[in-house]
Every structure is written in structure tokens, then in C-alpha cells.
């Protein structure tokens, strides 16, 4: 049977096994995120068009990313279907994170283009659960977002990311399934 998936939509993530019938284990997924690689053990959830994964360098506890699977640099590059899917996943993710981290607020941010602070040339949405007094001034979070991945320290190892993703996957099953 010939593979029917459009490569322009699905080439960035491995979603099927060699026989193209059974889903491959989550740990075998590979997602090309601009120049970076996100391994399946860091992925919390994915739809046919979007993916939710933990952050290599979180600004606050629970800081995660949601991105389209298709590699696009800017929000305006998304199709209507991709936009809808992306923001539906953002909504579900925010709801789950607020329950998981016992908060009633999140900062949701898109750095759309280099002058807006985007360092990975693949559109992505930051979702950051907020807690009282997590920053001296509330808007300091934007300064942290702008500089957090430019500093050489504070990067997490794959084990820490896998552990967080597994915790969030378990919580996702309870809340969102």
C-alpha cells in the first residue's frame, strides 16, 4: 500500500511504524523543531496538525510549547485548519496546566519573528502557568522569555524532560481524554 500522507504536512514527525499500520511508540517519535530536535519522550500530546511538548529551558515550572507539526516560521503561514487545531490544543493545554499546577492564570505568548524575540524559526506558542509573585513585576516574564534561551546555562537534560512529559501525559489522560 502506498503512503498517503502529504509530506509537506507530515515530514517533520515520524507517526507510523515501518509497516505503516501501527503507531510507533512515543519514545520513537522525532519532531524537527527548526534546527532543534524534539524527541518523543518530551512530547506530551499531538494531534494530526499540532504538537505539545516540554521546554528545554523553562522560564517557570510547567512552561511548555505548542507548535504546528508542519514547519512554518510565522503565524500568518498557517492554514485555517492548522490555526484552529493549534489554538484548540493551546486551550486544552492551558486548562490542563492550570489544574496540574493549581493556578488560575497562564501567560500565553508567541514571539512571531526575529524582532519579536523568536529564536527558533518554527512558529510556537509558549504557555506558562503563573503563580502569585513568580516575578517582581508581572511583565518581567516577557523579558525572561526574550533572553531565556540565549543564555548558556539552565538547559535541562533529556531525562528531566522525559520525566516531566510523562507526568504531564498521565495528567492529560485524566483531564483531557
Which DSSP letter does residue 70 get? S
The predicted model scores a pTM of 0.82
Q: Helix or strand or coil: residue 49?
A: coil
- Based on the residue annotation, tell me whether 126 is a catalytic residue of this protein: no
| 49 contacts 9 by C-beta, under 8 angstroms | yes
Query: CA 45 from chain center: how many Å?
Result: 9
Give strand pairing partners of 30.
39
Residue from 41, 124, 126, 148 carrying the catalytic annotation: 124
CA 102, 107, 111, 116 torsion-angle sign? negative
CATH number at 7-176 = 3.30.428.10
Question: Is 130 within 8 Å of 61 (Cβ atoms)?
Answer: no
At residue 17, the pLDDT reads 27
- Tens of pLDDT along the chain (177 residues) come to 333 444 344 444 443 223 333 344 566 778 888 888 899 999 999 999 999 999 998 989 999 999 999 999 999 999 999 999 999 999 999 999 999 999 999 999 999 999 988 889 999 999 999 998 888 887 877 877 776 666 666 678 889 999 999 999 998 988 876
Amino acid at each position: 500500500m502506498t503512503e498517503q500522507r502529504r509530506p509537506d504536512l507530515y515530514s517533520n514527525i515520524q507517526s507510523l511504524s515501518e509497516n505503516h499500520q501501527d503507531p510507533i511508540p512515543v519514545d520513537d517519535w522525532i519532531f524537527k523543531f527548526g534546527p532543534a530536535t524534539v524527541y518523543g519522550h518530551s512530547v506530551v500530546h499531538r494531534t494530526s496538525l499540532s504538537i505539545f511538548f516540554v521546554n528545554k529551558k523553562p522560564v517557570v515550572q510547567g512552561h511548555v510549547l505548542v507548535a504546528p507539526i508542519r514547519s512554518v516560521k510565522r503565524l500568518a503561514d498557517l492554514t485555517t485548519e492548522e490555526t484552529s487545531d493549534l489554538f484548540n490544543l493551546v486551550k486544552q493545554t492551558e486548562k490542563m496546566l492550570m489544574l496540574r499546577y493549581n493556578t488560575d492564570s497562564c501567560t500565553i505568548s508567541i514571539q512571531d519573528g526575529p524582532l519579536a524575540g523568536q529564536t527558533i524559526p518554527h512558529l510556537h506558542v509558549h504557555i506558562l502557568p503563573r503563580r502569585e509573585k513568580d516575578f517582581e513585576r508581572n511583565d518581567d516574564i516577557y523579558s525572561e522569555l526574550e533572553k531565556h534561551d540565549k543564555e548558556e546555562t539552565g538547559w535541562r537534560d533529556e531525562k528531566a524532560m522525559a520525566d516531566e512529559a510523562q507526568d504531564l501525559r498521565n495528567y492529560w489522560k485524566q483531564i483531557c481524554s
